[in-house]
Amino acid sequence: MPNQYVAKSRRLRSTIYSSRIENQGVTSYTIYNHMLLPAGFKGSLEETYNHLKNHVQIWDVAAERQIEIKGKDAYQLVQLMTCRDLSKTKEGKCYYCPIIDENGGMINDPVVLKFDNEKWWISIADSDVMLFAKGLAIGKKLEVSISEPDVNIMAIQGPKAFNLLEKVFGKEILDLKFYNFKYFNFKNSKHLIARSGWSKQGGVEIYVENTKSGLELYDLLFEEGKELNVKPGCPHLIERIEGALLSYGNDMDINDNPLECGLDKFVHLENDIDFLGKEKLIKIKENGINKKLMGVKINLDKINLRSAIHLTIGDKIIGEIRSAVFSPTFNMVIGIAMINKPYFLTKDKFDIIIENKKYKGEICDIPFV
């Protein structure tokens, strides 16, 4: 990527894979956690989408940083941050956990890795989450240490992911269950591998703690994957919207609560646990939500969404579309939108104005596939 597009500095970090993906043809970046996250490679959006759904890709997702919480009160702090009940969680497993503030607003929606009751990683979190955790720990006088370990994730995603992984790690990798993690040997190092990832095509995320070994592994995966048509890739807009894989900062933010985001099954209000914002969420549930994330379909063949766009019925704003893309599966634009009550119940047709032209759309459930 030409330097004039991104001024790199300590505030905007490259990843350990940056030089490699630039040689492999990265065409665009987005910024996540003050770090470069690849957003596109050579080929059209539809071409890379079809490749992901039929082959295997290797993603530089080192921007998915870890917040490590260790110490006697580690479990108490992690539970205080999330509305999901962690009291019966098991070691070696991953848990999707909405993190909320005192008003029930979404701060982030990371995956939490449990090593044991005194060591947790909060994955796909950012510096705001680390500062939030430190503030709670200091305020509650908890005995914990909170840090960002030097961990750089690469993801192996696609239906042929395990064909590739077996070549490198052997048949043992095939026994790794969904949302479980364990350490696997690679030459003279061990790498934590979780069966997870930000796609619905299957695969793993490799949490690289040894940079030298991680780069050797990255290169070997591409070498061993040649006959599987392996390519570099990144979280894919079409695939994630079709599967309703929510993106914090795009589909939801601190002004939305997990009930409005359709995350009810991760909100445990009746359990005997203490977390920030619990009383607020209890009241919200009792009164009912006033808006909800829904799907929308629009009879368009393209859209370039840089900010939320209002959806209307007559002169009334009924919601806003927050993420959208043309889907080759549905041959129209699909999107994720926050829809006001009662329209998320009645699923009325709506109008949307794009570049001064009015188009019709309809509200639907998510995921699309």
pLDDT per position as a tens digit, 112-166: 999 999 999 999 766 689 999 999 999 999 999 999 999 999 999 999 999 999 9
- pLDDT value at residue 2: 46
pLDDT band for 3, please (50, 70, 90 cuts): very low
Q: Which amino acid is at 263?
A: L
Rounded to a whole number of angstroms, the distance between the first and last alpha carbons of the chain is 34
User: CATH: 3.30.1360.120, 3.40.50.300, 3.30.420.40, 3.40.50.2300. Which one for 1-287?
Assistant: 3.30.1360.120
- pLDDT value at residue 5: 61
Per domain, the residue ranges of the chain are: 1-287, 290-369
CA 292, 293, 295, 298: dihedral to nearest 10 degrees?
90
Average pLDDT taken over every residue of the chain? 95
Q: Report the residue count for the chain.
A: 369
Query: Considering only 124-128, 281-285, 305-309, 329-333, which range has the smallest mean pLDDT?
Result: 124-128
Measured in whole angstroms, the distance separating CA 318 from the mean position of its chain's CA atoms is 27
- pLDDT value at residue 368: 97
Return the higher-pLDDT residue of 304 and 100.
100
pLDDT exceeds cutoff 50 at 88: yes
| 320 burial level (CB within 10 Å; 0-12, 13-18, 19+) | middle
- pLDDT value at residue 9: 74
- pLDDT value at residue 305: 86
- pLDDT value at residue 1: 44
pLDDT digits (tens, 9 = 90+) for 280-304: 999 999 999 999 999 999 999 999 8
- pLDDT value at residue 125: 60
* Contact criterion met (CB below 8 Å) for 266 and 83: yes
Instruction: Write down the CATH number for the domain with range 290-369.
Output: 2.40.30.110
pLDDT exceeds cutoff 90 at 307: no
- Is the alpha carbon torsion for 241, 246, 249, 252 positive or negative? positive
- pLDDT value at residue 124: 75
pLDDT band for 13, please (50, 70, 90 cuts): confident
Measured in whole angstroms, the distance separating CA 67 from the mean position of its chain's CA atoms is 15
Instruction: Count CA within 13 A, CB hemisphere, residue 337.
Output: 32
pLDDT, mean of residues 34-44? 92
Residue 262 tokens, joined: 């359709």
pLDDT exceeds cutoff 80 at 354: yes
